[in-house]
Amino acid sequence: MTATIHKIGGNRAPSLEPMFKLVAPGMNKVNAVILDRMQSEIPLIPELAGHLIAGGGKRMRPMLTLACAQLLDYPGDRHHKLAAAVEFIHTATLLHDDVVDGSDMRRGKTAANLIFGNPAAVLVGDFLFSRSFELMVEDGSLKVLKILSNASAVIAEGEVNQLTAQRQISTTEEKYLEIIGSKTAALFAAACRIAAVVAESGDAQEMSLDAYGRNLGIAFQLVDDAIDYVSDGATMGKDSGDDFRDGKVTLPVILAHIRGNADEQKFWRDAMLGNRISDADLKHARTLLQAHNAIDDTLDRARHYGQRAIDAIAHFPNGEAKSALTEAVEFAIARAY
């Protein structure tokens, strides 16, 4: 790719290392809760859940809860259980997503639904989702329960919205943003916001962290959608070109389509309808994306939301937590390069 990199800050390549370092002690506790609470007398449940949970993933969302709690100097430990609850919601969503999409890879491994079957993936997702609410109930904050039950409903709405938009080349950028705001950014926002709830930091701080998480989530998803057209399977942990073959109308496609001539628009329409799924078609798609600057401009949009995320926490005192949260945004963007 030839995009100019407008890096947000720093000289070395941005990474999640400062975040890992910041939250490592807390994440040990979160991981202990996760491992403990995914157990069941029905062996298939920990087996399937473990495939996905133990099998990697950055645990971005629980890390955000922990980092935000540190930003607020929260001295307690309630957030460990709640961070695990957030990860369970996310895992349940992934399991159901893979059934919905018929995915064959997830986090660089064979997707759980292919190994254990769709029925088990649906039901273990339901189990983890219920478990996440049990964890929240144990914590006992109705406010956290409200935030996360609302986020869950919004995620499901976003997923249905995406399903409805699938293969519809007429999907607008506005609608696309609405979809990723629901299906991805809502849980990022909630993961950050609940840190301010347990720290009892007040509405203003809650909304700052909500805005940080929401904008970071949108940036993350935009970059993911760009990467799907530029990476190989090894980088992404899923097959490159999946979105193209599944007829997912993401922002790169929306931009290339709206900027294209009649022939190109026909190509995109055909492609989204599933009639252009060969490697040659994907190659042609990449050529068109390049010609119309669609990837670069998608990443510019991502940078815009990334900058908003950083500004949403600008008023917090400088320190390790703020640096780690800032660099997490830069990392989210830099993944594309």
Name the site residues for a second copy (rule: CB under 8 A).
40-45, 92-93, 96, 99-101, 118-120, 122-124, 126-127, 129-131, 133-134, 136-137, 140, 142, 145-146, 149-150, 152-153, 155-157, 159-161, 163-164
Question: Closer to a second copy at the Cβ: 139 or 281?
Answer: 139
Q: Which is nearer to a second copy, 144 or 199 (CB)?
A: 144
Nearer to a second copy, 6 or 146 (CB): 146
Distance CA 14, CA 241 (A): 26
Cα angle, residue 77 at apex, residues 73 and 81 outer, rounded to 5°: 125
> Whole-number minimum distance, CB 91 to a second copy, in Å?
13
Q: How far is the CB of 5 from a second copy (least distance, A)?
A: 37
Nearer to a second copy, 21 or 146 (CB): 146
When the beta carbons of 157 and 320 are compared against a second copy, the nearer one is: 157
Tell me whether residue 89 or residue 211 sits nearer to a second copy (CB atom). 89
Beta bridge partners of 109: 106
3-state DSSP helix/strand/coil percent for the chain, to nearest 5? 75, 0, 25
Cβ nearer to a second copy, comparing 126 with 173? 126
From the CB of 87, what's the least distance to a second copy, in Å? 16
Shortest Cβ 156–a second copy spacing (Å): 4
**What would the two tokens of residue 3 be?**
């995009």
Taking the complex as a whole, the smallest distance from the CB of residue 123 to a second copy amounts, in Å, to 5
Q: Which value, in Å, is the radius of gyration of the alpha carbons in the chain? A: 20
Give CA–CA dist 46/207, Å, rounded: 36
Which of helix, strand or coil describes residue 166?
Answer: coil
DSSP classification of residue 110: E
Closer by beta carbon to a second copy, 3 or else 145: 145
Q: What is the DSSP letter of 207?
A: H
HSE (side-chain half, CA atoms, 13 Å) at 330: 21
CA-CA-CA-CA torsion sign (2, 312, 190, 49): positive
C-alpha 190 chain-centroid distance = 12
Q: By CB neighbour count within 10 A (0-12 exposed, 13-18 middle, 19+ buried), where does 188 fall?
A: buried
Q: Which among 23, 32, 31 is positioned nearest to 74, based on CA atoms?
A: 23
The least CB distance from residue 70 to a second copy, in Å, is 27
Shortest Cβ distance from residue 105 to a second copy (Å)? Answer: 18
Distance CA 124, CA 110 (A): 17
Question: What phi, psi does 110 have (nearest 5°)?
Answer: -60, 135
Closest approach of Cβ 206 to a second copy, in Å? 16
Shortest distance in whole angstroms from residue 33 CB to a second copy: 15
Residue linked to tokens 């299906």 = 183
Contact of 26 with 82, CB cutoff 8 Å: no
Cβ proximity to a second copy, 3 vs 114, nearer residue = 114
